[in-house]
């Protein structure tokens, strides 16, 4: 399939122009296969790997049909986690820049309920949320679902794995029968097939191959047994490639904690993420990693689908998962947005080898490289992240923070990295060499005529 441009679709000139400014020049396979169908109003089941461009695939379709002048909720997008819902909402807002006044509201657990009710009282065009919180709002009448004509289930398999099946079906009972439904799923197990039969009308089915091409993701497999041998192999791998951004996946929380401690002991700046962390801690962890203030993130699969960062250089499987689809999701964290990447997997026992042999053409599994770990090896971040105790609710925007750092503090724009603005706080990554200057400058000067409390994270 040759990649076509978005000009071949029946989109408005304003939407196409906005897509070009966002770097959307050619359609990805999932976009090319699905958009001609969804733009015609067809129900759709799409099986595609993470990082394939599916958010734009459904986002363009739902924005194309949106009646902006009708200030009522017309589209609902359900996601398995708050992280993914936030990312989807953020991407939809970028895609919606072609026209004014499109309001997108997120409804997720882990955040205060009453502010969401207040926001819904002022209406919206699109709601993006997790099933539990969306259902709570529906049951309490926070918004009317009567004009919803588009429903998107993003990562539907993950939602069912997390036990949201009953919630999803109850939500659908609230919605109009006449609607367009789009279901995106990395896998298509029997429970997804049954759900689609129950809630969709003659859906079109498309499948984009989930195998990662070897030229896109360079995959290596090493035999290693026991925690200590695996930990040494991880350090040797980091020593060999010195990535600026790497995710290490473990199957258990205990191994995450222990490996994180080992890497820190070897001078490797490391973050750890698993289900024991509160939502606020998870948000901050992902923000620091995305801002390149830590080169290594050790995580369980809680991060496998919610991590939306385009330039992860290396994925390491400390443990192989029992399901090859999960393996595909994991290594799909690298080689995003058209870039290449590398995945290293540690293979322990016959079960691991059998899974790889069954799903990958001639995987070359070798013994651990016995190169010594250099005593002077460290892996430090290029950036430092600064916390600012103000956010969107205080009318603080990323442009305000960038302006303060460049115009007032005197930093060059190339010294400023990722800026993330939450409702009540913000984070800005700056290069280590100017971190002290940035911190002192933001402490001593106003941003938009107001002083903020700032400190390093």
CA 349/CA 347 separation, integer angstroms: 7
Q: Is 85 helix (H, G, I), strand (E, B) or coil?
A: helix
The answer to whether 316 touches 247, Cβ cutoff 8 Å, is yes
pLDDT in tens, the chain (457 residues): 556 889 999 999 999 999 999 888 889 889 999 999 999 999 999 987 666 788 999 999 999 999 999 999 999 999 998 888 988 999 999 999 998 889 999 999 888 999 999 999 999 999 999 999 999 999 999 999 999 999 999 988 888 888 899 999 999 999 999 999 999 987 777 888 888 888 998 999 998 765 555 557 899 999 998 999 999 999 999 999 999 999 999 999 999 999 999 999 999 999 999 888 887 888 899 899 999 999 999 999 875 555 667 678 999 999 999 888 788 878 887 876 566 789 999 999 999 999 999 888 888 999 877 778 888 899 999 999 999 999 998 999 999 999 999 999 999 999 999 999 988 999 999 999 999 999 999 999 999 999 999 999 9
Report DSSP state, residue 381.
Answer: -
- Strands of 130-203, DSSP E: 150-154, 180-185
CA 12/CA 3 separation, integer angstroms: 20
| Domains with residue ranges and CATH for the chain | 6-207 (3.40.50.300), 217-367 (3.40.50.300), 383-456 (3.30.70.330)
CA nearest to 196, candidates 216, 182, 177, 208? 182
Given its phi and psi angles, is residue 423 left (phi above 0), alpha (psi -120 to 50 degrees) or beta? alpha
Listed in sequence order, the residues at least 6 apart from 243 whose beta carbon sits closer than 8 Å to its beta carbon are 295, 313, 314
Average pLDDT, the chain: 90
Buried b (16+ CB within 10 A) or exposed e, 213-229: eeeebebbbbbbeeeee
CA 107/CA 130 separation, integer angstroms: 7
Q: Which residues pair with 427 in a beta bridge?
A: 387, 420
Count of CB atoms situated within 10 Å of the CB of 397 = 16
Count of CB atoms situated within 10 Å of the CB of 453 = 11
């Amino acid at each position: 399939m040759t990649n076509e441009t978005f000009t071949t679709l029946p989109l408005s000139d304003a939407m196409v122009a906005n897509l070009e400014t966002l770097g959307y020049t050619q359609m990805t396979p999932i976009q090319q296969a699905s958009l001609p169908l969804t733009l015609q109003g067809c129900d759709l089941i799409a099986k595609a790997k993470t990082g394939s461009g599916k958010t734009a695939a459904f986002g363009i379709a739902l924005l194309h049909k949106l009646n902006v002048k009708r200030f009522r909720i017309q589209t609902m997008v359900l996601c398995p986690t708050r992280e993914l819902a936030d990312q989807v909402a953020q991407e939809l807002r970028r895609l919606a820049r072609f026209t004014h006044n499109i309001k997108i509201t997120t409804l997720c657990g882990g955040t205060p309920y009453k502010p969401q009710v207040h926001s819904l009282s002022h209406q919206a065009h699109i709601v993006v949320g997790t099933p539990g919180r969306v259902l709570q709002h529906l049951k309490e009448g926070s918004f009317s679902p009567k004009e919803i004509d588009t429903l998107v289930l993003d990562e539907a398999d993950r939602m069912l794995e997390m036990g949201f099946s009953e919630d999803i079906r109850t939500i659908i009972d609230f919605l109009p029968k006449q609607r367009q439904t789009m279901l995106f799923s990395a896998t298509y197990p029997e429970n997804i097939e049954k759900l689609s039969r129950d809630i969709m009308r003659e859906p079109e089915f498309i499948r984009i191959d989930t195998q990662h091409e070897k030229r896109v993701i360079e995959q290596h497999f090493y035999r290693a047994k026991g925690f200590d041998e695996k930990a040494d192999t991880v350090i040797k791998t980091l020593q060999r490639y010195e990535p600026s951004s790497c995710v290490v996946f473990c199957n258990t929380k205990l191994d995450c904690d222990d490996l994180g401690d080992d890497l820190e002991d070897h001078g490797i700046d490391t973050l750890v993420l698993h289900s024991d962390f509160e939502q606020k801690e998870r948000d901050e962890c992902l923000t620091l990693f995305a801002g390149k203030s830590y080169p290594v993130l050790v995580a369980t699969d809680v991060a496998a689908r919610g991590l939306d960062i385009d330039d992860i250089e290396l994925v390491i499987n400390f443990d192989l998962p029992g399901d090859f689809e999960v393996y595909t999701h994991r290594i799909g964290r690298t080689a995003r947005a058209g870039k290449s990447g590398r995945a290293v997997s540690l293979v322990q026992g016959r079960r691991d080898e059998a899974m790889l042999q069954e799903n990958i053409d001639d995987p070359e599994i070798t013994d651990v490289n016995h190169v010594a770990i250099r005593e002077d090896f460290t892996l430090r971040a290029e950036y430092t992240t600064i916390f600012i105790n103000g956010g969107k609710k205080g009318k603080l925007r990323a442009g305000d923070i960038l302006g303060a750092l460049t115009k007032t503090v005197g930093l060059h724009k190339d010294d400023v990295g990722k800026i993330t603005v939450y409702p009540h706080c913000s984070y800005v990554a700056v290069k280590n060499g100017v971190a002290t200057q940035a911190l002192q400058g933001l402490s001593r000067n106003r941003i938009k005529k107001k002083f903020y409390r700032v400190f390093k994270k």
